[in-house]
Chain A
Amino acid sequence: MGMARANEHQGRVAVVTGGSGAIGAAIAERLNKSGALVHVLDLQPSSLPGADFHRADVRNEPDVDRAFDAIGKSAGGIDYLVCCAGIFRRVPFLDLLLEDWQKTLEINLTGYFLCCRAALRFMRPQKFGRIVLFSSMLARTGGVNSGHYAASKGGILGLARSLAVESAAENIRVNTISPTITDTPMPRAVLSDEEIESRKTGIPLGRIGRVDDMAEACMFLLSDDSSYLLGQDLRVNGGSTLW
């Protein structure tokens, strides 16, 4: 610890789940440019040059364990874990099938559990680890047709705080980021341009989030600049929710 080194990320082994998605890819790219050894876990191949791609379904325990074992053993450890893998499909509550509920919980929450557990097996013995889990402002505010998603994202906050307490003494820091709506293909797939435009009116800073906002927040939480932060939720939301 101490003052951040000029390039503290150099040589760090980083795993980014959902690393082929917009936010995950931006973080993977930032880490790669900072000299980290980046491994992307996703179902969709990563187009990021210089990153190792591992096809894995985060719901699948053997898939996840196999991927992390391969990374940790070949790289000699795992230093950073960033979890972004998630799905969001709005469904009115009375139309929500058990299958929809379970799929959302399994990918968004159980997937984080499996990835954290697999990464901690390497972080704990080396007494170093930085974990950033992406939650959502919907964990706090809830949202129409979003009960399953909000539940999964709320679960992430509880998971992160518990892991933070459990791992703090081993120099492993766990924090979360709660974005508001961010300009990525995920919301654009379910919202019209007009709907996205109207969302800006509820955001005091007058715009929706950008992928770079989330990448900056993530780099801060991975770096020594946040050495006394653990179990915290960084709300990157333009002031849309002040708690």
Chain B
Amino acid sequence: MVASDPRVTVVTGGGSGIGHATAVRLARRSDAVCVCDLSEAGLSETAALIQSEGGTVLTGIVDVRDQSQVRAWIAEILQRFGKIDCLFSNAGVNARSSVADMTVAQWSLLIDTHVTGTFNFCQAVLRRMVERRAGSIVITSSDFAIVGVPNAANYCAAKTALYSLTKSLALEFSPYGIRVNAIGPGPIDTPLLRAGRTPEGYANARAAFEARLPIKRLGRPEEVAAVVDFLLSDRATFITGQLVQPNGGQVMW
């Protein structure tokens, strides 16, 4: 590989919100971006934007919970580009419910998608990163890894598990020069924040966030993408195992 090879970056959940903004930003900095999602429409939108700007993009419909799908897609990426430099494991869903009424399906959907999905992707790419003794991973955790929230026990448990996974991966793979960090976004104006809420419910939630947040506004996906870009890059070569929180001051610790 020559130094001028483009970086190859995998973004999961790249069909909307934070994943979309990050894929677009990284394509603009000349990464070859491999984007997966369950939403074909979302993927097409991300890919079309990147291609219209002259960027390189590969898309895949992948259920991150399914290890065989993940491995097959990683193999496809390696066949096309020969390497993977960076992973942004970001695919997520939400299913709000009080614990009293929560079904096992609601619980498992979040744990499987966030935690097992990230395990699947990290394992698949780390095997190659270890061979090359280089690589950087960012995992989307949440402020909710630090604080609890009512009606979101499944989400909080999943995001806390991701923070924990991040720290263990950072220690396990630092001997290979591979860095693993997490981001803990606060309320970001994305489809996920709207999911499961009526328009009125979303308006109320948004007003409550804005009143409570020190910065008095929701975050934009691009503001999170900038942090992911920083952590993946050589600007952060001495940062590993950390949770970095673009959260408008929602949680400071």
Which residues of A line the B interface, CB within 8 A? 2-4, 161, 164-165, 168-169, 204-207, 209-210, 213, 216-217, 219-220, 224-232, 234-239, 242
Contacts and interface: CB of A to CB of B under 8 A. Distances in A.
Quick one: which of B216, B223, B249 has the most chain A CB within 10 A? B249
B226 A227 contact: yes
Interface in B191-243: 214-216, 219-220, 222-224, 226-227, 229-230, 235-242
Contact of A228 (B219, B237, B242, B252): B219
Contacts of B177: 205
Nearest to B225: A225
A228 B174 contact: no
Quick one: which of A209, A217, A231 has the most chain B CB within 10 A? A231
Contact of B174 (A206, A213, A224): A206
B244 interface: yes
A168 B174 contact: no
Contact of A205 (B226, B240, B252): B240
Contact of A216 (B175, B216, B224, B235): B235
A239 B249 contact: no
Given A168-B249, A242-B170, A204 B241 contact: yes
B240 A204 contact: yes
B97 to A, nearest CB: 28
A161 B224 CA distance: 20
B155 to A, nearest CB: 20
B170 A168 contact: no
B120 interface: no
Contacts of A235: 239, 242
B244 A164 contact: no
B59 interface: no
A133 to B, nearest CB: 13
Contacts of A228: 185-186, 215, 219-220, 223-224, 227, 246-248
B214 A165 contact: yes
Contacts of A165: 214, 249, 252
B167 interface: yes
Nearest to B172: A204
A225 B237 CA distance: 17
B171 interface: yes
Contacts of B220: 228
B175 A206 contact: yes
21 contacts: A4-B226, A168-B215, A168-B249, A169-B215, A169-B216, A205-B179, A206-B174, A206-B175, A210-B238, A220-B236, A225-B229, A226-B226, A226-B227, A228-B215, A228-B224, A228-B227, A229-B227, A231-B252, A232-B245, A235-B242, A236-B239
